[in-house]
Amino acid sequence: MITKDISLEDCILDLIDNSIDAARVASRGDISNLNDYFIELNINPESFSISDNCGGISLHNAIDYAFYFGRRKDAPKDVNFSIGLYGIGMKRAIFKLGRKIEISSYTNEHKFIVPIDVDQWLISDKWDFELDPLENDKPKGTYINVKSLRDDVSKEFTDPVFINSLFEIIGRDYASFLSRGLNIKINDKLVNGYNYAVMENSDFAPSLISYTDDGVNVEIRAGIAALPDDESDKPQKYQDVKNYGWFVLCNDRVVLAADKSIKTIWGRDSFPVWHPQYNGFIGMINFRSEDSSLLPWDTTKRNINLSSSVYKRSIQRMAELTRPWIDFSRKKKDAGYTPPISQNSYSSLVEKIDTNKTYKAALLIPDISKTPNLISIQFRKSDKDVNNVKLALGNARMSNREVGEKVFDYYKMNEVD
Ligand SMILES: Nc1ncnc2c1ncn2[C@@H]1O[C@H](COP(=O)(O)OP(=O)(O)OP(=O)(O)O)[C@@H](O)[C@H]1O
Ligand SMILES: [Mg+2]
């Protein structure tokens, strides 16, 4: 039953979460540099495996906690800022995947394997897991192998679309860990972190605000990735458009991705529902706490606990931060033109906070009412004539558009002004 409420993708993310928590313990809570850590997934229609070099499961932890269903009351809270808290993720994931499971752990002190034959285990009345010592050596880490995959899982694993979407989801949801050097591979191919690039120039700049609420540090970043329908700007790739909206993170892990629904701000109270005219906006709200039970997430790590007061109070701030973009895109639509952007330079919303930089509390967005209402003029002339005008203007290689503008300016200066 426990495997029913979660998707296959989210189960796989649960296993990645555990490796990241182990890396956090191995590096004593400092995850600013994760270059040395590897998480490798091998996925094919016959088997699934995930291995990491993040230190392994200690024997004591394996016997007393790791294989329990649910978190024991006496479980030590030694993982600060951890992703794991419910004590269910790993078990749910392996049972969702298949029927023959092996979990091996290599730590500095111990080496052991936990083989689970699910069919046998289900008919036993003890429901214990056996733990056998291992003789061979491997880098310190955890190795999970699942065979006899469930039919629907095996079917998904034959589908290249599933594997590609896994690359995308992992690149998007673990961007902040990937940007700190964590290496995640699927079938020997490195996953690239999504960049969350937003414009940073004299017209547009991202904002960052942070505050503490009931033991939770809340950091909100927002920026504009691109202007909708603007040819001169970064092209609107489907990949990017998919990633507009609000991202909600808990301890750096994405819980809601590119949200365009009432779960964040869209259509809530007096705020407008999402519309493609708001494309380009990326907001990111990260709730961080040493005690991960204070964070507003549910056990799947894919949904927000909407009744959390910390979350409820943050909605107001998210709305405030989005408002200038809503106003801008409405004015832009009414005016029927896009103001020119002075230059295209980008920064990344997942970048670490640069202490030498001053961050803005509000999005910088040009005031469209102050920009003159621009219209375009189009006309056709023979190429010979146009080339002669270019020569007369002193640059045979100027663009046709520029010829038009120069000729217009010349007429206006001499005959109008
Ligand atoms: N890759 C790993 N490396 C080290 N320890 C691990 C690894 N995977 C699991 N563990 C240990 O097993 C425990 C149980 O994992 P599980 O995912 O079931 O629960 P959790 O992470 O504590 O909570 P949640 O249900 O929120 O994920 C973890 O707390 C951790 O101690
Ligand atoms: Mg877990």
Q: Which pTM value belongs to this model?
A: 0.86
At 111 the pLDDT is: 97
pLDDT of residue 231: 43
Closest ligand 1 atom to Cα of 83: 26
Using CB atoms within 10 A of its CB, is residue 27 exposed (0-12), middle (13-18) or buried (19+)?
middle
CA 84 to centroid of ligand 2, rounded, Å: 4
Residues β-bridged to residue 146 = 48, 101
CB atoms within 10 A of CB 136: 7
Ligand 1, residue 142: give the atom nearest the CA: 1
Q: How far is the C-alpha of 144 from the C-alpha of 6, rounded, in Å?
A: 19
Which regions in the chain score pLDDT beneath 70? 77-79, 229-239, 336-337, 355, 369-373
pLDDT tens per residue across span 139-188: 999 999 999 999 999 999 999 999 999 999 999 999 999 999 999 999 99
pLDDT of residue 168: 95
Q: Are strands 111-117 and 98-106 parallel, antiparallel or unpaired?
A: antiparallel
Distance between Cα 89 and ligand 1 center (Å): 7
Residue-level pLDDT at 378: 87
Pairwise CA distance, residues 403 & 401, whole Å: 5
Residues with CB under 5 A from ligand 2 (ion): 18, 84, 89
Of 305, 224, 222, 294, nearest in space to 263 by CA: 305
DSSP three-state, residue 85 = coil
* pLDDT tens, residue by residue, 208-228: 999 999 999 999 999 999 887
> Which residues are near ligand 1 (CB < 6 Å)?
14, 17-19, 22, 52, 54, 56-57, 61, 66, 84-91, 142
Q: Structure tokens of 316?
A: 């107001």
pLDDT attached to residue 233: 44
Q: What is the DSSP string of 103-163?
A: EEEE-SS-EEEEEEEHHHHHH-SS-----EE--S---SEEEEEEEEE-HHHHHHHH-HHHH
Q: Residue 105 class from Cβ within 10 Å (0-12 exposed, 13-18 middle, 19+ buried)? A: buried
Question: Residue whose CA is closest, atom 14 of ligand 1?
Answer: 66
Ligand nearest to the CA of 39: 1
